[in-house]
C-alpha cells in the first residue's frame, strides 16, 4: 500500500515538485459532485457509472485551464465525452 501511495505522490510531483508525468491532484468540490449527479441523470442511457460521471464532471471543470484530451477505450465514457464536447483518444484503435 505504501508503494502505491509513494507512486501516486511521485506522479503528481510530490515532494520535490518534479515529475515525468503531467498529473495533477484535484480536490472534488460540492459543485463537481452535483455536476456528476446531473451527468448520471442526463446520460443514464449511456450506462456510465458514478466514477465515470465524476471524471466527466472534473474534466468539464478543468477544461478551461487544462484543455488536454481524455484517454479511454471505454465506449460508454466515449459517448458521454462526445455529447459533452470533450475530446478523447482511444489507445485500442489501430491507426
Q: How many domains does the chain have?
A: 1
Domain range spanning residue 66?
27-89
Q: What is the pLDDT of residue 79?
A: 93
Helix (H/G/I), strand (E/B), else coil: 53: helix
Confidence of residue 77 (pLDDT cuts 50, 70, 90): very high
Which set of grid coordinates corresponds to residue 7?
507512486
**What's the N-to-C CA distance of the chain in angstroms?**
37
Confidence of residue 12 (pLDDT cuts 50, 70, 90): low
Does residue 32 form part of some domain? Answer: yes
Does residue 44 form part of some domain? Answer: yes
- Counting Cα atoms < 13 Å in the Cβ hemisphere of 74 gives 16
Does residue 66 form part of some domain? Answer: yes
Helix residue spans in the chain (DSSP H) = 2-11, 30-42, 50-62, 75-83
Does residue 56 form part of some domain? Answer: yes
Does residue 58 form part of some domain? Answer: yes
Does residue 94 form part of some domain? Answer: no
Q: What is the pLDDT of residue 65?
A: 81
State the pTM of this model. 0.70
Per-residue pLDDT for 73 more than 80? Answer: yes
Q: Average pLDDT, whole number, for the chain?
A: 83
CA distance 68 to 59: 9
- Counting Cα atoms < 13 Å in the Cβ hemisphere of 77 gives 21
Does residue 41 form part of some domain? Answer: yes
Does residue 43 form part of some domain? Answer: yes
pLDDT tens track for 14-57: 666 666 666 677 888 999 999 999 999 999 888 899 999 999 99
Amino acid at each position: 500500500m505504501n508503494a502505491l501511495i509513494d507512486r501516486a505522490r511521485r506522479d503528481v510531483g510530490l515532494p520535490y515538485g518534479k515529475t515525468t508525468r503531467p498529473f495533477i491532484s484535484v480536490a472534488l468540490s460540492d459543485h463537481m459532485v452535483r455536476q456528476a449527479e446531473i451527468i448520471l441523470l442526463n446520460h443514464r442511457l449511456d450506462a456510465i457509472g458514478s466514477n465515470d460521471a465524476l471524471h466527466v464532471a472534473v474534466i468539464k471543470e478543468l477544461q478551461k485551464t487544462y484543455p488536454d484530451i481524455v484517454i479511454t477505450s471505454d465506449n460508454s465514457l466515449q459517448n458521454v465525452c462526445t455529447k459533452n464536447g470533450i475530446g478523447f483518444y482511444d489507445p485500442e484503435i489501430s491507426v
